[in-house]
Structure 1
Amino acid sequence: MRTDGNIRIHLFLLLVVIAVFIWSAIKPASYLTWLLEVSPAVVGLIIIIAAYNKFRFTTLSYVIIAILAIIMFVGGHYIYSKVPLFNWIKDAFDLKRNHYDRFGHLLKGLFVIVLREILLRKTPLTKGPWLFAIVVSMSLAIAALYEIIEWLVSKISKGGEASKDFLGIQGDIWDTQWDMLCCLIGSVIALFVFSKLHDRLLKKEIIKE
């Protein structure tokens, strides 16, 4: 059943996300790059908030959504290739690039749990191999769509500085493939780690629809 405690947790997550969003908007490295990076998260959050009373996710799904939004807001503020902590990691371990974008795509695999919840609640699909395969495929499709959007922005802007920062390949011709691989790995790990917890929360928090 839905409880006031769950609603308070959801509100807390929203306030944290709003606070990070406000911080990210204060003197970002580039306002145009910031706009490109945070827009998908903002649009998604608006849709989720608008649908809250009609379709309420489990707390696990909201935690994942909050994490992904924060990842995008931090990347938008600094530019993914220049996030300070990952610059330090790059220097400390003598790496060739800042890996914040790889980290972000790995975590974007967590979104597979949100997709899993939508399919379990809104389609005849049940738990099993088909659900696993379909949600992983959906996660990869979303990752591919994002890569296409990045490419289109680069083409439309004719390779401007903001589009280069948004694309963020850092000289790696296989950047898109690496991003997709990270998303795939993150999706598979998320399903193995969180599916049982997700099932318990679905039974505990969600009123039968």
Structure 2
Amino acid sequence: MRLLPSYRATTVFMLLVFLASWIKPLWPVEQALHSSLTVLGFAALWWYRRRYVLSERDYLLIAVFIATHCIAARWLYSNVPYDHWAQSALGVSLNQLLGWQRNNFDRLVHFLYGFCLTPPIAAHVVQRYRQSGRFAFGVAITAIMVTSLWYEWFEWLIAVTLSPTQAEAYNGQQGDMWDAHKDMLTATLGSLLWWLHYRRQRGTAEAACTT
């Protein structure tokens, strides 16, 4: 029984979300800036799939991250109406329930960056360089942390070329001076969850071997 969607189904899912996000865009210029990274992601994924083996699970994880980024890009992260969706569907305000004072969809995207990309990076290290799972996850977590820093630098470089209003709309800091630090921490936590999962699996396997 197939539990994961095929590569083709996952690709169609990504493309449909991307196209749907461009139906009557609310902020076309700002969305285009964010979506440029999505296009680069599509190109990198296509190139990688032609050269290396990528499991259906890891391909799906990457697709989930890209699709979520597309949704965030449409509403410039800070304006994703997730609380309205939750109230309409469940009759519950997530912001009130969790005590949030800001729109936290951007935190979800950064968390998924770490959570969704760590397994593919680790798998690549194992496949390409014949390294242990422990070493591979160390590399993957480090890569998530470093690239998260690079992305915050990239956001800053873009912001300094814009007007203050446009910079705030693009960066989505929502008045939080520690926004970049929290974004990097959230991505790291998403990545570390896989390390804990790997350690648990390894411990279970070692326990089974000794019985």
Same fold (TM over 0.5): yes
Q: 2:105 aligns with which of 94, 100, 107?
A: 100
Please give the alpha-carbon distance, in whole angstroms, between the structure 2 residues aligned to 1:97 and 1:59.
35
Structure-2 separation of matches of 1:91 and 1:100:
15
Q: CA 1:16/1:196 → structure 2, altered by over 3 Å: closer, same or farther? A: farther
Aligned pairs for 1:110-149 within 5 A: 110=115, 111-128=117-134, 130-149=135-154
In the alignment, the residues of structure 1 paired with residue 4 and residue 44 of structure 2 have an alpha-carbon distance, to the nearest angstrom, of 17
1:75 pairs with 2:81 = no
Whether 1:39 and 2:45 are equivalent positions in the alignment is no
Helix, strand or coil at the partner of 1:156: coil
Q: 1:174 is matched with which residue?
A: 178
Gap regions ≥5 residues in structure 1 = 198-209
Shift in CA distance, 92/194, structure 1 to aligned 2, threshold 3 Å: same
Cα offset for 1:133?
2.3
> How many residues are matched?
191
CA contact (8 A) 1:24 1:77 kept: yes
Superposition CA RMSD, Å: 2.4
CA 1:41–1:190 in 2, change beyond 3 Å: closer, same or farther?
farther
The alpha-carbon distance between structure 1 residues 118 and 86, as it changes in their structure 2 partners (threshold 3 A), is: farther
1:105–1:180 Cα contact (<8 Å) kept: yes
- TM-score when normalising by structure 2: 0.81
Going from structure 1 to structure 2, the CA distance change for 1:195 and 1:27 (only over 3 Å counts) comes to farther
- C-alpha distance in 1 between matches for 2:126 and 2:163: 42
Residue 191 of structure 2 is matched in structure 1 by 187
> What amino acid is aligned across from residue 90 of structure 1 in structure 2?
N
Query: Quick check: 1:164 aligned with 2:161?
Result: no
The runs of 5 or more residues in structure 2 that have no matched partner are 85-92, 202-211
Task: Tell me the TM-score normalised to structure 1 length.
Answer: 0.82
The structure showing larger relative contact order (alpha-carbon pairs under 8 Å, at least 6 residues apart) is 1
Q: How far 1:79 sits from its partner (Å)?
A: 1.8
Distance 1:97 1:159, change over 3 A: same
Q: Is the alpha carbon distance of 1:194 and 1:68 closer, same or farther for their aligned partners in structure 2, counting shifts above 3 Å?
A: farther
Instruction: Describe the superposition over 1:150-178 as per-residue Cα deviations: whole angstroms up to 9, x where unpaired.
Output: 100001224342x3222111000110111
Identity of matched residues, %? 21
Is the aligned partner of 1:150 residue 2:155?
yes
Equivalent position amino acid for 1:16 in 2: F
Structure 1 60/43 Cα, relative in aligned 2: closer, same or farther at 3 Å? same
Alignment check: 8 A CA contact 1:14 1:66 kept: yes
